[in-house]
Structures are given as structure tokens and as C-alpha cells.
């Protein structure tokens, strides 16, 4: 509903409040034929919305946008981590606690489909995801090939391109052009691809970050123009229910994503009471201003949650590795396998909060290999000696290198990554050690963060250096302090109160 003001300005009240109409002027041109098609689709769009939300949101996009200044990105560390670490003098600890017998659950592979391949008399079972996403089904479904086909971390995916989506154009190159793109996309046959994306997310156990990568991959296959590709991603995310906004910065389209948790080293914008993150500029600095709007697409309120509670169901590309280390002069070997597709996926991650990394699982096959190898050495030991053995394994199996040396930026690694990289730093080892002791011994563990270091501490009745989180006492176990044992803190940190504790979920 519209209302005329004293100065004759039309204001819209129906759904999104009071806004003045402003258009950012940027010139562009289209061919005569394309322009005629464009005008026709824009006229049709106002008559053919399938969703009442689209009609109201399309009107809202034409109203006043405001300039938002990027806030300084939060950093995980205010002080750089050390470039080298001290070594402790090896010493044995008192053997206490019950005798350990590790239980390793057998991994069960879900048989999604069978490929009739044989090698000699052996039948090979493939565990690749299927449903609508297996390539055999992509080739023909109801007699028609899929419009978009690509490889997504080893899985061959296919999607139906919405009829009419190519009519959506970012023209003119300003706020009005964004509203025009939305109007055209909203009358396309978009329902099918939204359904297919949701099916893939379910079948492949895709978390929000994997969904982010998938949607952008789809959009890049539809539009070669990056502005139009981002606009399609924005449209899809809103239809999937995510609170994602589009804006203009530096004469180009940018997308910002709502998250309740901090995403570090990423330009941040505050809209109302919520923080939005410019993920495409992760670890690249920030824009001075972004012109955007405050209201969400109606009903799309979901935040981007980077938690990785379940390992994605990617096609297997298994690699073998053996870690070797010495304890009191004797060498031990820990062989295991890992999925390279999973490592490639994890390498794309922006900098999430520490809880995300400490609470993410290892791939079941990787954990089974590591746990089985460790079981051979620790079964029959007293609990203190068994835990200490795992501590020495994490301390001595990798070279030390801080993130700025190794990656030229801060990068916390998942436990899976730490096993696969030859070098790591303090928080990487803390995350791996915490996961192993939690699952091998079922004991409580916390991450212990100092201003330039990360250790762990255990909820076990042993003597030595300790910390208190509230009323609970935890005994220090530092996976970076090489040759140290449970209860030995680096001398530098013995008298320092930790900045914070990282909560780690029990099994």
C-alpha cells in the first residue's frame, strides 16, 4: 500500500517499513535485441510471481539502500605465535589408573549403489552418492540430460538449469539492476534446482560451508559474468532459507552472510543487531563501504553455521600415510588412510571459531586406522602411560611451523588435516590430541588458549601443572611441548592465567 507525503514522495508501507527511493547511477549498454527481451521479461515478472514474498521483496529492493562501513576483522591471536618451540627433558611419569583396552569400532560403508565391476573373481562395490546425483542418472532422467554437470570433490553432480534463468540480467549496473535480476529469476522455473540442491545436501551430508561452495559452483556454471553468478547464488541462498544479502561495493556485486559466531579475518558488517560476513574477501582485507539493505528476504533467517558435525559424504580418493615417532629411544609407526577429497574441502575453510575445529570428527576410516595402530602399543598399559604415549605421538610425529610461515595467514587445521600435513603448530596439535584422548579414553578435555599459544588440559586425577575452568581442575597436557609429559607446562606459561578455555563436547 502506498501513501503520498507532503512533498509528493511516494512511500511504501506494506511489509518492510519506510524507505526512500535511491538509485546508484552506473552506465552500461546492451544490444538492441537483448534489451528488448530484457524489457519484456521485466514487464512479465510483475505479473507472474509464483511466491507472494517475491512481489513484496522486489518492491523493497528498489527502496533506499544505505552505506555500511566494513568493521575491522577480528583476529584469533593478538600476538604472533612463536616461530620455534622449546623441548622438554624426557621423563617417565608414575603409572596410575586402570589398565587400558582400546575399543575401535569397525567402519561401516553405506552401500549407496553397486557398480558391476570385477577384478578377477572379486566384485567391487562403489560407495559414491547416488539418488539424483550419480553420473549414471545425470546422463538421462526422463529422457533428458542434465543441463549442468561438474565434479564436486570427487562426486559427479548434475543439475537442471531453471528455464528462463538466462533472461535474468544485471542491468543497469546499479541497485536497479539487482532488483531487475531478482524479478526475472523469480519468474524462472527455479523450483527444480532448489529441490535438487536440497536433495544433494541431504545425500552428501553437506554442512553450510559445503553448501556455500556447491551453490557458487552451480552459479559459475550458469553465468560466466561474476556479478550475475553472485546474484544467482544470492537468489538461491534466499530460496534455501539463508539470511544472505546482496550489496554494491567497488561497482561490483558482493554477498554478505549472517553468522552468530565470529568468522575471523573476514570483513564484517553490522546490520541492525546482526553481523554479516563478506566471505569472498576472507583474508584479503576489506572494502571501505558496501551499499545494501537491512531486511531479510521474508522467511529466510538461517545463519551460516560453519560447524562440521558430520563428515561430508564425498567420493573416496584414499591415500596412505605412515607417521613415525620415538618415545624413550624406541620408534613406533602409525599407518592410516585419508580421503584426499575431504582434505581438499577442508583447505577451503574460512577461519571459524575454535569450537568448530575441536568438535569436528575425523573421517571414520582415518580414525579407525590411527586408533588401531595406537591400540597395538597402548593396550595393557596403565591409563597414565597410555595417555602419555598418545601425547608423545602427537608431539613428535610432525614438524613445527606456525601458520604465517606455512600458509602466509592464520589457518587452524581440522584434526584430519593435521594428520595429513607434515608440519603444524600449537592449536592444530591440540585439536588432534583432544580428539584422540576423548575418543580413545573417554575422558574430559578442554583447549587452553593463551595470547600466543594453545595447549590442552585433561580432567584426570593426576599431579602436575594444572588450570581451573570455573570450579573444575584440569591437568595440563601440551601437544606442542615436545617430550613433555602429562602435568608439564611450558615454563613460559606456568604462571600465566589462560585467556580462555575451549569447550569440547563429550562423545
What's 401's domain CATH number? 3.10.620
Cα end-to-end span (Å), the chain: 54
> Which residues, in sequence order, are CB contacts of 279 under 8 Å at separation 6+?
212, 255, 257, 263, 266, 304, 350
For residues 212 and 208, what is the distance between their CA atoms, to the nearest angstrom? Answer: 6
Same domain assignment for residues 473 and 348: yes
- At residue 286, the pLDDT reads 63
- At residue 507, the pLDDT reads 67
For residues 443 and 312, what is the distance between their CA atoms, to the nearest angstrom? Answer: 26
Same domain assignment for residues 335 and 371: yes
- At residue 21, the pLDDT reads 30
Same domain assignment for residues 166 and 253: yes
- At residue 130, the pLDDT reads 36
Nearest Cα neighbor of 385 from 103, 87, 100 is 100
Same domain assignment for residues 205 and 335: no
- At residue 49, the pLDDT reads 83
Domain count, the chain: 2
| Residue 384 maps to a domain | yes
| Residue 113 maps to a domain | no
Q: Do 412 and 283 form a contact (C-beta atoms < 8 A)? A: no
Same domain assignment for residues 272 and 354: no
- At residue 405, the pLDDT reads 80
Edge-to-edge strand list for the sheet holding 289-292: 66-69, 289-292, 244-249, 252-258, 274-277, 268-271
| Residue 10 maps to a domain | no
| Residue 50 maps to a domain | yes
Pairing state between β 289-292 and 66-69: antiparallel
**432: domain range?**
318-502
For residues 293 and 269, what is the distance between their CA atoms, to the nearest angstrom? Answer: 11
C-alpha cell at 442: 573417554
| Residue 4 maps to a domain | no
- At residue 72, the pLDDT reads 77
Same domain assignment for residues 210 and 347: no
Same domain assignment for residues 264 and 400: no
- At residue 31, the pLDDT reads 40
| Residue 170 maps to a domain | yes
Same domain assignment for residues 496 and 415: yes
Rounded mean pLDDT for each run of 10 residues along the chain, 507 residues in total: 34 33 34 46 58 93 94 76 86 92 73 37 34 44 72 95 92 96 95 96 97 98 96 98 95 94 93 94 77 96 97 97 95 98 97 96 97 97 97 96 77 96 95 98 96 96 94 96 96 94 89
Same domain assignment for residues 368 and 454: yes
| Residue 345 maps to a domain | yes
Same domain assignment for residues 468 and 353: yes
Same domain assignment for residues 287 and 243: yes
- At residue 474, the pLDDT reads 97
pTM comes to 0.84
Same domain assignment for residues 63 and 175: yes
| Residue 109 maps to a domain | no
For residues 255 and 279, what is the distance between their CA atoms, to the nearest angstrom? Answer: 8
Helix (H, G, I), strand (E, B) or coil at 297: coil
Amino acid at each position: 500500500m502506498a501513501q503520498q507525503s507532503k512533498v509528493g514522495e511516494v512511500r511504501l508501507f506494506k511489509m518492510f517499513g519506510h524507505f526512500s527511493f535511491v538509485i546508484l547511477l552506473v552506465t552500461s549498454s546492451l544490444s538492441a535485441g537483448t534489451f528488448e527481451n530484457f524489457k519484456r521479461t521485466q514487464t512479465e515478472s510483475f505479473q507472474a510471481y509464483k511466491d507472494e514474498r517475491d512481489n513484496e521483496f522486489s518492491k523493497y529492493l528498489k527502496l533506499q539502500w544505505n552505506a555500511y562501513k566494513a568493521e575491522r576483522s577480528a583476529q584469533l591471536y593478538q600476538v604472533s605465535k612463536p616461530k620455534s618451540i622449546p623441548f622438554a627433558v624426557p621423563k617417565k611419569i608414575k603409572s596410575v589408573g586402570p589398565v587400558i583396552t582400546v575399543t575401535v569400532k569397525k567402519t561401516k560403508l553405506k552401500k549407496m549403489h553397486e557398480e558391476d565391476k570385477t577384478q578377477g573373481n572379486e566384485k567391487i562395490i562403489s560407495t559414491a552418492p547416488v539418488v539424483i546425483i550419480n553420473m549414471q542418472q545425470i546422463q538421462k532422467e526422463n529422457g533428458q540430460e542434465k543441463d549442468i554437470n561438474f565434479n564436486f570433490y570427487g562426486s559427479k553432480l548434475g543439475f537442471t538449469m531453471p528455464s528462463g534463468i538466462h533472461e535474468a540480467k544485471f542491468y543497469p549496473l546499479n541497485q536497479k539492476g539487482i532488483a531487475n535480476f531478482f524479478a526475472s529469476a523469480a519468474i524462472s522455473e527455479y523450483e527444480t534446482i532448489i529441490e535438487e540442491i536440497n536433495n544433494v545436501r541431504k545425500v552428501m551430508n553437506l554442512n553450510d560451508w559445503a553448501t556455500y561452495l556447491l551453490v557458487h559452483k552451480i552459479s559459475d556454471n550458469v553465468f560466466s559474468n561474476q556479478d550475475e553468478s553472485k546474484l544467482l547464488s544470492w537468489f538461491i541462498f534466499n530460496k534455501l532459507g539463508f539470511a544472505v544479502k546482496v550489496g554494491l561495493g567497488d561497482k561490483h556485486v558482493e554477498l554478505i552472510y549472517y553468522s552468530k559466531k565470529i568468522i575471523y579475518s573476514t570483513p564484517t558488517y553490522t546490520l541492525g543487531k546482526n553481523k554479516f560476513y563478506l566471505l569472498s574477501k576472507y583474508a584479503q582485507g576489506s572494502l571501505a563501504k558496501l551499499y545494501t539493505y537491512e531486511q531479510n528476504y521474508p522467511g529466510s533467517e538461517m545463519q551460516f553455521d560453519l560447524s562440521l558435525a558430520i563428515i561430508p559424504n564425498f567420493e573416496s580418493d584414499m591415500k596412505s600415510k605412515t607417521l613415525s615417532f620415538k618415545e624413550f629411544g624406541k620408534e613406533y609407526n602409525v599407518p592410516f588412510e585419508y580421503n584426499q577429497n575431504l582434505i581438499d574441502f577442508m583447505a577451503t575453510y574460512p577461519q571459524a571459531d575454535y569450537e568448530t575445529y575441536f568438535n569436528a570428527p575425523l573421517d571414520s576410516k582415518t580414525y579407525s586406522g590411527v586408533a588401531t595402530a595406537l591400540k597395538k602399543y597402548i593396550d595393557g598399559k596403565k591409563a597414565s602411560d597410555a595417555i602419555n604415549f598418545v601425547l608423545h605421538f602427537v608431539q613428535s610425529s610432525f614438524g613445527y611451523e606456525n601458520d604465517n610461515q606455512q600458509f602466509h595467514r592464520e589457518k587452524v587445521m581440522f584434526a584430519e588435516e593435521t594428520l595429513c600435513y607434515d608440519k603444524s603448530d600449537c592449536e592444530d596439535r591440540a585439536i588432534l590430541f583432544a580428539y584422540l584422548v576423548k575418543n580413545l579414553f573417554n575422558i574430559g578435555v578442554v583447549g587452553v588458549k593463551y595470547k600466543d599459544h594453545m595447549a590442552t588440559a585433561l580432567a584426570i586425577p593426576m599431579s602436575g601443572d594444572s588450570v581451573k575452568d570455573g570450579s573444575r581442575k584440569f591437568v595440563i597436557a601440551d601437544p606442542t611441548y615436545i617430550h613433555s609429559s602429562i602435568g608439564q607446562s611450558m615454563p613460559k606459561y606456568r604462571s600465566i592465567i589462560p585467556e580462555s578455555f575451549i569447550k569440547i563436547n563429550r562423545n
